[in-house]
Amino acid sequence: MAELNVTETQLRKQRGPFAEVMHRLSKSPLAMFGLGFIFLLVFCAVFANWLAPYPFAKQNLLHMFELPSAKYWLGTDEFGRDILSRLIFGARVSLQVGFIAVGISLIVGGLLGAFAGFYGGTLDNMIMRVMDVLLAIPQTLLAIAIAAALGPGLYNLMIAVGISAVPNYARIVRGSVLSIRGMEYVEAARAVGSSDLRIILRHIIPNSMAPIIVQSTLGVASAILNAAGLSFIGLGIQPPNPEWGAMLSGGRQYIRDFPHLTLYPGLAIMLTILALNFLGDGLRDALDPKLKR
C-alpha cells in the first residue's frame, strides 16, 4: 500500500496537467510577460476604485489637455478628466468584454462544433453551412450589424462581439473533435468497453482542449480589439463611461495638438493585445504534449 501511495501522490503532484503546462509556460519569457501583464490588468480592474487617483468621470475644466505631470501622471483629457484613472477603469470594461465575449462564442460555437463533429452527416452539414454564411461576412461588419440592431451598451457589446466570433470556434472545435474521433485510441477505448459518454469526457475533450485554449486566448485579444473598434464608432460603451476605444474616439479630434489623449489608450490596447498574443503563443507550445525539452 505504501508503494501505491507514492504512485498516487506522484501522479497528482508531479504530473498534474495544469502544473505541467505552467512549468513549460514558465520557460518562455514572452509568455510570462504576457501572463504577468494580464494579471496586472486584472488587478487594476478589480481594485480600480482604490488604485485610480481620481473618479473616472470627475471633470476639472481648469485642467483641460494637461500634459503628464506629478498631479496627473498621464495628463488630462478634453474635459479635464484624469487619463490614468480612466485607463484603469477602462481595463474593467475591456477585460469584461474580452473574456465574456469569448465565453459566449466558446459556449455557442463550441457546442455547435462538437455536435457537428461528433454526429456528422446532415446535422454537421446544416450547422457548418450556417457557419460558412456567417464567416462570409467580415467579422467587424457582422459585429457592427448586431450591435446596431441591439443598440449600444456594455452587454449588447459583449453579445455582438461574442456572436460575431462564433463561427471561428465552431470550426476549430469541430475540426479537433473530428480528428480525434477517428484516432485509434478512441477505438481502443471502445475495445476496453468504455461508453460513448466516457469516451467524449475522458478522451475526446481533453485531447481537443489545446487548440481551443490557444484560440480562446488569442480570441480575447481580438474581442477587446473588436469592442474598442465598436466603441470608437459609437456603438459600444457610452460616455462618460471609460472604454479604451471610446477614449481614442474622443481624443481623435485633438490628436495634432494633444497626442497624449490618444497615445495612452492606444498603448493600453496595443500592450494588452500583445500580452494576450504572447500568452497564446506560449500556451500553444506548452500545451503540445509531444514537445520535449
Partner 1 sequence: MSENKNLLLEIKDLTIHYVTESGRVHAVEGLNLELAPGETLGFVGETGAGKTTTALGIMRLLPMPPAKIISGDILFEGESLLSKNESQMRAIRGGKIAMIFQDPMTSLDPVVPVIEQIAEMVELHQKGTKADALKRAGDMLELVGIPRERGVAYPHQFSGGMKQRVVIAIALACDPTLLIADEPTTALDVTIQAQVLELMHELKEKFKTAMIMITHDLGIVAEMCDKVAIMYAGRVVEYGTTAMIYNHRLHPYTEGLFNSLPDLESEQEELKVIHGLMPDPTNLPSGCCFHPRCPYATEDCSKSAPAMAEVAPGHFVACPVRVAELKNN
Binding site for partner 1 (CB under 8 A): 1, 3-4, 6-8, 10-11, 14-15, 17, 183-185, 187-195, 202-203, 206-207, 289-290, 292
Q: What Rg do the C-alpha atoms of the chain give, in angstroms?
A: 23
Q: Tell me how far apart the alpha carbons of residues 161 and 140 are, in angstroms, rounded to a whole number.
A: 8
C-alpha torsion 248→254→258→259, nearest 10: 40
Q: Residue 191 Cβ, how far from partner 1 at the closest point, in Å?
A: 4
> In the complex with partner 1, which residue's Cβ is closer, 60 or 207?
207
In 3-state terms, what secondary structure has residue 82?
strand
Burial of 193 (0-12, 13-18, 19+ CB in 10 A): exposed
* Smallest separation, CB 4 to partner 1 (Å): 5
Question: Which cell goes with 144?
Answer: 457592427
Q: Write down the least CB distance from residue 204 to partner 1, Å.
A: 10
Longest dimension (CA), the chain: 77
**Residue 279 CB, nearest approach to partner 1 (Å):** 21
End-to-end CA distance of the chain: 33
For residue 271, the minimal CB distance to partner 1 (Å) is: 33
Is the Cβ of residue 199 or residue 268 nearer to partner 1 in the bound state? 199
By beta-carbon proximity to partner 1, the closer residue of 179 and 253 is 179
Degrees, nearest 5: CA angle 13-18-21: 110
- Least distance from C-beta 13 to partner 1, angstroms? 10
What Cα–Cα distance (Å) separates residue 114 from each residue in 15, 122, 175, 176, 203? 28, 14, 9, 9, 14
Nearer CB in complex with partner 1: 84/180: 180
Q: Which is nearer to partner 1, 15 or 252 (CB)?
A: 15
Q: Which is nearer to partner 1, 42 or 210 (CB)?
A: 210
